[in-house]
Structure 1
Amino acid sequence: MNREIIDETPRQCLTIGRIAPDFTAITTEGVVTLSQYRGQWVLLFSHPGDFTPVCTSEFIAFAQLYPEFEKRNVQLLGVSIDSNPSHLGWLYSIMEMTGLRMPFPLISDRDAKVAELYGMVNPDRIYEQSVRDVFIIDPNQRIRAILAYPATNGRNMYELLRLIDALQVTTTYGVSTPANWMPGDPVIVPEARTFDELLQRVTDPESVGLNCLAWYYCFTDLSQVTPLNPESE
């Protein structure tokens, strides 16, 4: 009996904290390199294919919320293995439907080099379809978050914005954010560094502007935290 041969070569293993691999690519706005965006946050995202309904809904949402990404110094960068003419035709179709001109580059990754570099290729359908991945890259070109979605389900742009807000708060202030955190909510402070600091958190946390439910579980308002680098605020 004939069996379909599936390529089981492991996907490129990129993890949070690694430097994002640089690349040069043809896009709908000309040739770009990832490194040209050093100093900005980058949201690099793949989509399975042009002229598909879920991807169309995502690009409309990205275009509508683009000013919010701009406010956060975030460069959007889309990628799929479709040709550049296909991209241009699809984006024109979206503009005809909605009046929205896509305000960010869309990479034509015909040889799947970017997709393979970032592990975006579906191993069962190599060179046919990239998966719906997101890489959030900080101004030092370090990967700070990785998300993956199935082809059948679109991404929540407000969650991507919320995650970027959380990452930027962590970067600027050295704090963490709890589950379901939204901008303006209290943040989690780092653990106590000395035993005296631990005792203070147990006996009198209010004196240092903390709300502690346990010595290791303390919150504060972001307004009480000094930025790690005041110029980055």
Structure 2
Amino acid sequence: MEDQREKPPLRIGDRVPGFAARSTQGPVELAQFRGRWLILFSHPADFTPVCTSEFVALASAADRFRALDCALMGLSVDSLYAHIAWIRLIWDRFGVRVDFPIIEDPTLEIARAYGMLGREAYDAASVRATYYIDPDGILRATACYPVTVGRSIDEMLRILAALQRVQDGTALAPADWKPGCDLLRTPEEQIEKALSPEGSADWFYSTIPDTSGSGSER
């Protein structure tokens, strides 16, 4: 296999690399998730406090992601057995069942393929990355966090809903947009609209209602 350290980082719009791996839900392949959205998120290690808080929150919100037809998949360098022991601890301590797969990546092969690590990195101490992958296997958004700061589950859901709403190109999601709130119209690309007697900014900035009927995440 080619040296993953020489691969450039993934960019929005790239087709994400396929992989097969062992997981807490059995063997998984990325191809299994074609046809629906997938959020692939990494964590530096099992049995760490910030990661534990994230997995409790994500597992508790799994039905909200499911309602948006989105699967969740965790990843770390820890072994499958460490993942299983950690899930058991989460169940015993918090009463929360982690039902989404957590895959093992002991050789850092997947982390390097996705650009989660710098080319010279030899451990996963800094890995906390999130990848929003559309039903066609295309990367639509990414987010990276330091090991000291946990993700916002509400923000993950907001980004996912926004990506789904603007995917057809008919609208844009403004700052702080939530499902059910007004969207922005895609700007006109002809000078006639800019010179019309309407408001001088209307050709590039005007709102439209969100008629998608997805106000449940509001």
TM-score, normalised by the number of residues in structure 2? 0.88
Q: Is residue 157 of structure 2 the alignment partner of residue 161 of structure 1?
A: yes
Q: Is residue 96 of structure 2 the alignment partner of residue 63 of structure 1?
A: no
What percent of counterpart residues are identical? 37
- Number of the residue aligned with 1:119: 115
- Number of the residue aligned with 1:230: none
- Number of the residue aligned with 2:207: 219
Q: How does 1:125-140 map to 2 (within 5 A)?
A: 125-129=121-125, 131-140=127-136
- Number of the residue aligned with 1:82: 78
- Bigger-Rg structure (1/2): 1
- Structure 1: unaligned runs, 5 residues or longer: 1-8, 206-211, 226-233
Whether the 8 Å contact between 1:12 and 1:116 is mirrored in structure 2 is no
Q: Is residue 79 of structure 2 the alignment partner of residue 91 of structure 1?
A: no
Q: Alignment RMSD, CA only?
A: 2.0
Aligned residue for 2:73, secondary structure, equals strand
Q: Is residue 193 of structure 2 the alignment partner of residue 197 of structure 1?
A: yes
Whether the 8 Å contact between 1:115 and 1:130 is mirrored in structure 2 is no
Aligned residue for 2:166, secondary structure, equals helix
Q: Name which of structure 1's ranges 145-154 and 190-199 shifts more when overlaid on structure 2.
A: 190-199
- Number of the residue aligned with 1:229: none
- Structure 2: unaligned runs, 5 residues or longer: 213-218
Aligned equivalents of 1:74, 1:119: Cα separation in 2: 22
Task: Report the AA paired with residue 168 of structure 1.
Answer: Q
Flag the structure with higher helix content. 1
Measured against aligned partners, the alpha-carbon deviations of 1:76-135 in whole angstroms (never above 9, x if no partner) come to: 010000000100000000001112111100001111111111111255651343510000
Aligned equivalents of 1:47, 1:167: Cα separation in 2: 23
- Number of the residue aligned with 2:147: 151
Aligned equivalents of 1:130, 1:106: Cα separation in 2: 18
Aligned equivalents of 1:87, 1:189: Cα separation in 2: 45
Whether the 8 Å contact between 2:131 and 2:141 is mirrored in structure 1 is yes
